[in-house]
Amino acid sequence: MDLFEIRDILNATVLCGEEYLDREVRSACASDFMSDVLAYVKDQALLLTGMVNPQVVRTAEMMDMKCIIFVRGKMPGEDILELAREREIVVMRSEMRMFIACGLLYSRGLAGE
Amino acid sequence: MGDLKLNYEVDGGDLIQAGEASSKMKMTLKKLGLPPEVIRRASICMYEGEINMVIHADGGQVEVDVGMDTITIRLTDHGPGIPDVDQAMEEGFSTAGDVARDLGFGAGMGLPNMKRCSDDMQIDTQVGVGTTVTMKIHIN
């Protein structure tokens, strides 16, 4: 599934990395706890979170993730977007709640593992 | 050819901005063309350690030694030390405060994750003096 499709499924707004939406992702993880992302995630290239701070981008960077989606309408600040731009990580936001966003992506074929 | 040595200062003041040293190390390892899985494991080890340093010890120093076979990451701080290392190694045990938790850390997963992602980890600590964590990641 590419990031164009994910954007459309979640009715999301792309905040940075528009030029990388053709990236393919095969699995995702969802957490507000960066400790758990660092400890449990393996090859999931997509992170859904309601946590908004620069450490979300740092965590995604360390885990080689390609895209962060802020759910529940959370709006990251310019400092967060700047960090993501430097690291070529796509950032989107969606008004959907975490459970709904995950459920939609899962039902359309995106795996958790 | 000798080992490549990298040195970083970790500023203790600002947890929101922490991770800069890990980010720089990761970029250097990428430029060296090391296997992505090795880079990721080294990056997780260092990032967890860097976050720990900022949460618990007001920063410190990191030395990274990239050899032919092994990456060695040594984090040294002059913080309060760890009174009970076995307890600190238990998943879920944490003494991190609200600031760390508000940022998504402090789950008590840092040290166990560092041990899991490295091939060897040693903790030298003395209460009131500081802590040195040394991790080795084999390249092949």
ipTM of the complex: 0.92
List per-block mean pLDDT (blocks of 10 residues) for chain B, which spans 140 residues: 90 89 97 96 97 95 97 97 96 92 92 97 97 96
CATH label of the domain that carries residue B56:
3.30.565.10
Count of domains for chain B: 1
Chain A residues near residue B40 by CB distance under 8 angstroms: 62-64
Question: What CA–CA distance (Å, rounded) separates A98 from A112?
Answer: 14
Task: Give the distance from residue A62's alpha carbon to the nearest chain B alpha carbon, in angstroms.
Answer: 6
In order of their start, the domains of chain A are 3-107 (3.40.1390.20)
Task: Give the distance from residue A16's alpha carbon to the nearest chain B alpha carbon, in angstroms.
Answer: 20
Is residue A77 within a helix (H) or strand (E), and if so which, with residue range?
A: none
Q: Is B58 helix (H, G, I), strand (E, B) or coil?
A: coil
Chain B's closest residue to A40, CA to CA, is B113
Question: What CA–CA distance (Å, rounded) separates B56 from B73?
Answer: 18
Chain B residues near residue A89 by CB distance under 8 angstroms: none
Q: Which of B22, B43, B104 sits opposite A34 (nearest CB)?
A: B104
List per-block mean pLDDT (blocks of 10 residues) for chain A, which spans 113 residues: 97 98 95 94 93 96 97 97 97 98 96 79
Residue B7, amino acid: N
Domain that holds residue B101: 4-138
Chain A's closest residue to B116, CA to CA, is A39
